[in-house]
Chain A
Amino acid sequence: MRNELFSVLRRSPFSLKKVRGGFVRLGGAMACLMLVAFVLPNAAQAFSDEELRNIAERLDTKSSTQKITVIEEMAADGDPRVAPILKAMLEGDLFVRDSDEHVVIGRKKGKVYTHIDIVSGEEVGESSSKELSKIKVNNRLRGALRDALATLNLFSPDLNIRTNAVEQIMDARDPTMLPLLLRAIEREDDETLLARMELARATMALAAGENPAERLAAIDVLSSETTPQIRAVLSQFVASAEAEGIEPEVLAAAKDALNDVEGRLSTWQTVGDVYRGISLGSVLLLAAVGLAITFGVMGVINMAHGEMIMIGAYTTFVVQQILSSVLPSGSPWSLIIAVPAAFLVAGMIGVVIERCVIRFLYGRPLETLLATWGVSLVLQQATRTIFGATNQQVTAPDFMSGAIEFSTGLVLTYNRLWIILFSLIVVAGIACVLRYTAFGLQMRAVTQNRRMAGSVGIRTGYVDALTFGLGSGIAGIAGVALSQISNVSPNLGQTYIIDSFMVVVFGGVGNLWGTVLGAFSLGIVNKFLEPFAGAVLAKIFVLIALILFIQKRPKGLFALKGRAVEA
C-alpha cells in the first residue's frame, strides 16, 4: 500500500490527465484560454464590435435569469472574443465603468484596477474600485458560465482544456449541448478523450434517446464506467423511468447497470477509507513521535508537548512573513526553511524547559504533569499575547494544494499525501539518530540505566537536556506540517495532546515502531468507524477499545523487554 502511494506521489505532478486541481489552476489556464480564443473553428467573428458591446452591456441587470439568457446568447455564436469575457465574469473581474457605462474587464494590481476593453482586449485606463461596479455573479450564474465556457472550449486545440470542457458537459447533463458534442466527436482524434465524449453522449442519450435500442446502447456504454456521476445519471434515470413508465427491458437493464456501478463504487469507498485512515494515522504519528521520545523514552509526562507543535506552526508563520517580501506566496521554500527553523526554535524552548523545570522533577510523575501543564498554559497565553487570539494564515505552497482526483470519486489531496510522506521521513530520521549516532547511543544508555551510564562517563544531565530538546524539536517539525491542515492558533496544541498520549501508550512506551504502528492502526480504525458511528462516537469507541486493550497488555503493543529500568 505504502509503495502504491509513493508511486502515485511520484507521478502526481505530471499526471495531468487525472488532475483537476480546481480553482488554484484556473489562473494558469487563463493564458491558454486567450490562445484558444483565436483559433476556434468557425472563428468568423459572429458579432460586430458594436453588437458585442451592446450584448455585454445587457449583463448589467439585477436578474440572474436575464443574465443567463444573455450569457447563452453570447456563447451560442462561437465568437472567440466571448470566452475571455465570460471567464472574467466567472472570476468576478467584469465591471461596469461608472463614467461611461461601458463593460470592462478589471485586473487588480494592488489597489488599482486596470481596465481592459472587452472588444479589443486592450488596456483602456485604470481607476480605483470606487469607479467600477461589479457585475455580480452567484452560484447559479457560475454554473451557467462554466457550461457556456465548456461549449466554447470543446474545440480548443489544447487537449487539457478540451478534457475539462467534456467533464463539465458531463456534469451539466444538458441535452441541448448534444449537437455541439456530436460535432466535437467528429473532430476529436485523441482516443482517451473520445471515450469520455462517447460517455458524455451516452449520459445525454439516456435521457433524450428516442427509441429503446438507443437507450440500451447508452446504458451499455454507461455500465462499464465507475464514477459517481454515472451513478447519478443512472439513478436519476431509474427514478424517472419508474415514475413515468418505460419499456421494461430498458428499466431492467438500467437497474442492473446501476447495481454494478454501485458495487464497484463501494469497493473504491473502502479503498478511500483505508487511505484516509493512513492519512489520519500520519498526522497522529507526527504529533506523537516527539512525545514518543519525551514521554516514551524519558518517561516525562509532558503536557506541554502540544504547545511545542504550536510553536512549530507559529515558526512557520513567522518564517513565511519574513520571506514573503522575497518569495512569491506559492513558493515551497518558506515551508522548507521553516522545517529546520521550527526544529531549532521548539528544540531550544524544550531545552530551556528541561533545564528550568523538568530536571528537578525526574521520577515524580504527578509533579511533572502539573508543572508541564502549567508551562503549556503559559506558552499558550504568551502566544496569545504576542500574536493575538485569532488564527494566523499560513499559505499553502502550490505543490500542497489541490488533489489527484480519480474518476471513481476517490480524491487524494496533495497536502495529505505530502504529510504521509513527511511523517515517514521524520520517523526514519529519528530511527537513524537513535540507531547510528553517538548521541543516540548515549541517549539509549541513559534512559535504560542512568547510573550505569553515568559510571561509564556519560554526562547524563547533558543527555537529558538534549533528548528533551530533540523530542520538542520534532514536535516543532510536526507543527510545520500541521500548519497546513489545521488552525494556526494558540489552541493548536490542545487538539493533539490527548491523541498523542493515546498513540504512545497504545504503541508501547519507549518503542518507536510501536508508535508508528499505533498511529496508523488508530487512524484506520477511526476512519472505518466514522461513517456509521459518527465522528463523536468513533472517538469514544476507540478510547474504550484502547482502555480494554491496556487492561490486557498494560505495556502497549510492543513492550520493552529486558533490563530497561522502569523508574
Chain B
Amino acid sequence: MNKKLQALMGAGAMALSVMTMSAAQAADTIKVGVLHSLSGTMAISETTLKDTVLMLVDDLNKNGGLLGKQVEAVVVDPASDWPLFAEKARELIEKDQVDVVFGCWTSVSRKSVLPVFEELNSMLFYPVQYEGEESSRNVFYTGAAPNQQAIPAVDYLMSEDGGGAERIVLLGTDYVYPRTTNKILRSYLNDKGIADADIMENYTPFGHSDWQSIVADVKAFASAGKKTAVVSTINGDANVPFYKELANQGIKAEDIPVVAFSVGEEELAGIDTAPLVGHLAAWNYFQSVEADANTAFIDKWHAFIGDDARVTNDPMEATYIGFNMWKQAVEQAGTTDVDAVRQAMYGQEVANLTGGTAVMNTNHHLSKPVLIGEVQDDGQFDVVWETDGTVVGDAWSDFLPESAKLTADWTYPWVCGNCEKPMY
C-alpha cells in the first residue's frame, strides 16, 4: 500500500509540476537553471530561494546583463521528490542547455543530482548548510560546512558565556545531514572531555509533530545536576511543533538552551517567539545584522516580493554570494563554459551581506564568518557571538578518523575531491 502510494504521489506531483519556460526563447541569452522544490514538503523553504535567484537575475538584467547578453532563468519544480531532482537536473542541462544551476536544499536531493552533474560536466551552486564529507568537481558549496556552524556553536555552548554546558542532547531528523553532523559532534565532544554517558542522541522522522515525550526526556536528562544544552538538527516542518512544545513545557533558554542549525528567520515565521527568547541558532548570516549591504539587500527583497513582512535568511545570502561569484567568474573568464568558469571561481571574492568578504577556496567551499544569534521576541535573531575572522569551510571533517586524512583541492597538483595524496 505504502509503496503504491509513494509511486502515486510521485506521478501526481509530476503531473502537477509547474514549469515556467518562456515559449519563445531568445537565441542569445545566458540560461540559469533554478532547481528548487515549489511544491511538496520542502516548498516551504525552497520557494524563497527560487525567488531570490529570480530577483538576482532581474537585477543583473537591469544592469545590462552578463557579457552583453540578457540572463534568463529557467525554473523547474522537482516537487520535493528526490529521484525527480535527478530527472529535472538532466532536463535542465540537456534539454534547456543551461550554463549553471542554482538549487537543492536537502542533502538527499543533492546526492541525487550529483551523478547527473558529474556525468554531463555541468555546474551546481548549493546554498544550504550541510554535513560536509563531500567535494564534487561540479558543485560549489556556498552554505556552511560543519566546522563553520556546528563546531563553533558547540564551542559557544561550552564556553562560560554560553552557560558552560557539560551534557549535550543531540536531536535530529532521521536522515544523512543530522546523522553525519552528530557523528562529527560526538567525536568532537569526546575530544573535549564529554563522555558518551553525557551525550543523548535522538532521531525523529520528517514532519514529526508529537514532541511531548522527547521534550520530557530532555528535561529528565537535564535534571542530572550538570548544565545541559540541546543541539538541534531538526529539519523543516518538525521545528514548529518542537518549539511550541518547548515553550509550553516551560523550558527556559537559561536552563536548557537549544542551538539549532536549521532554524532561521523563515522557520520562526510560524511561531510566537516570545517564550523562546534566548534559544540560539548558528548561521553565517542573520537578517538583524546592521550593515549597509544587508539593508540594501533586504529593501531590494521586499520590493521584489512585494511584502515588507517577508524575512531574509542564511541560505538566501548563500545564494546571493554564489550567484555573484558565478557572475564575476563568468566576466573574468569571458565565457560561460563550465571548465573555464570553474578555474575562474577559485579565489573569487564577494562582499558578505553582514560585512567582510567571502572567498571561494579550491575545495569548493567558502571562507565565511560564523555568527551565533539568540531568538528575540519579534522573530529575529540578535547576534551574541561571532568568530574573529572568517572560517575556511572544511569539506572533510578533522574530527572523524576516516575523513581527517582526506583532502579536497581541485587545483594542480591535487585535482581531487577526496584524496590522501596529490594526483600529479
| A residues in contact (CB < 8 Å) with B | 20-24, 64-65, 92, 136, 138-140, 142-143, 146, 171, 228-229, 231-233, 235-236, 239, 269, 272-273, 276, 279-280, 283, 369-370, 373-374, 377-378, 380-381, 384, 388-393, 395-396, 401-403, 405, 409, 411, 413-416, 485-491, 494-495, 498, 527, 530-531, 534-536, 539
Contacts and interface: CB of A to CB of B under 8 A. Distances in A.
B240 A391 contact: yes
A488 B213 contact: no
A146 B254 CA distance: 10
A269 B245 CA distance: 18
Nearest to B384: A138
Given A23-B275, A228-B220, A393-B272, A279 B44 contact: no
Given A276-B212, A534-B203, A486 B382 contact: no
A280 B214 contact: no
A23 B277 contact: yes
A396 B237 contact: no
Given A239-B225, A414-B248, A534-B202, A495 B209 contact: yes
Contact of B203 (A269, A395, A401, A535): A535
14 contacts: A92-B376, A138-B162, A138-B278, A140-B163, A231-B224, A233-B225, A401-B275, A402-B250, A405-B250, A411-B216, A487-B209, A489-B44, A534-B203, A535-B204
A65 B164 CA distance: 13
A280 B212 contact: yes
Interface residues of B, number: 67
B143 interface: no
B266 interface: yes
Given A64-B161, A139-B254, A393-B269, 10 more contacts: A92-B377, A232-B225, A236-B226, A239-B225, A283-B210, A373-B8, A392-B270, A403-B249, A489-B44, A489-B270
A54 B360 CA distance: 49
Contacts of A536: 174, 203-205
Interface stretch (B35-43, B88-96, B329-337): B35-43
A380 B205 CA distance: 21
B56 interface: no
A164 B210 CA distance: 29
A29 to B, nearest CB: 14
A403 B43 CA distance: 33
B244 interface: yes
B274 interface: yes
Nearest to B250: A22
B209 A380 contact: no
B253 interface: yes
Contacts of B217: 531
Contacts, number: 193
B376 A269 contact: no
A402 B203 CA distance: 26
B12 A373 contact: yes
Given A232-B224, A391-B44, A487-B237, A139 B253 contact: yes
B219 interface: yes
Nearest to B12: A377
A415 B248 contact: yes
B271 interface: yes
A302 to B, nearest CB: 14
Nearest to A378: B16
Contacts of A534: 202-204
Contact of B209 (A143, A393, A485): A485
A199 B82 CA distance: 57
B255 interface: yes
Contacts of B248: 401-403, 413-416
A487 B39 CA distance: 16
Interface string B156-176: 000011110000000000100
Contact of B272 (A384, A395, A486, A487): A395
B252 interface: yes
Interface string B17-58: 000000000000000000000111101100110000000000
Given A138-B161, A146-B254, A231-B223, A495 B207 contact: yes
A20 B225 contact: no
A20 B41 contact: no
A384 B278 contact: no
A539 B209 CA distance: 13
A200 to B, nearest CB: 16
Contacts of A415: 244, 248
A75 to B, nearest CB: 16
A104 to B, nearest CB: 19
Contact of B382 (A136, A140, A413, A487): A136
A22 B252 contact: yes
A143 B220 contact: no
B257 interface: yes
Interface string B269-307: 111101101100000000000000000000000000000
B67 to A, nearest CB: 34
Contacts of B269: 390-391, 393
B400 interface: no
B377 A486 contact: no
Contact of A377 (B16, B38, B161, B225): B16
A65 B43 CA distance: 44
Contact of B213 (A22, A405, A531): A531
B4 to A, nearest CB: 9
B210 A490 contact: no
Point out which of A136, A138, A140 has the most chain B C-beta atoms below 10 A from its C-beta.
A138
Contact of B241 (A171, A403, A487): A487
B237 A236 contact: no
Contacts of A485: 209, 241, 244-245
B344 interface: no
A384 B13 contact: no
B255 A138 contact: no
Contact of A269 (B220, B272, B382): B220
Contacts of A391: 44, 237, 240, 267, 269-271
Which one of A139, A273, A396, A411 has the greatest number of beta carbons of chain B within 10 Å? A139
B409 interface: no
B247 interface: yes
A393 B223 contact: no
B405 to A, nearest CB: 32
Given A139-B257, A416-B212, A23 B274 contact: yes
B90 to A, nearest CB: 24
A429 to B, nearest CB: 24
Nearest to A64: B161
B110 interface: no
Contact of B254 (A140, A384, A488): A140
Interface in B188-215: 202-205, 207-210, 212-214
A485 to B, nearest CB: 6
B374 interface: yes
Nearest to A20: B250
A136 B277 CA distance: 12
Contact of B220 (A409, A413, A491): A409
Contact of A491 (B2, B44, B249, B267): B44
Given A403-B248, A405-B250, A487-B240, A539 B160 contact: no
B275 A489 contact: no
In the A-B complex, list the 9 residue pairs whose CB atoms are closest, starting with the nearest.
A391-B270, A228-B223, A236-B225, A22-B250, A232-B225, A413-B248, A142-B254, A143-B254, A389-B43
A254 B112 CA distance: 57
Contact of B47 (A389, A414, A486, A488): A389
A272 B44 CA distance: 34
A491 B207 contact: yes
A81 to B, nearest CB: 24
Contacts of A402: 248, 250
Nearest to B160: A140
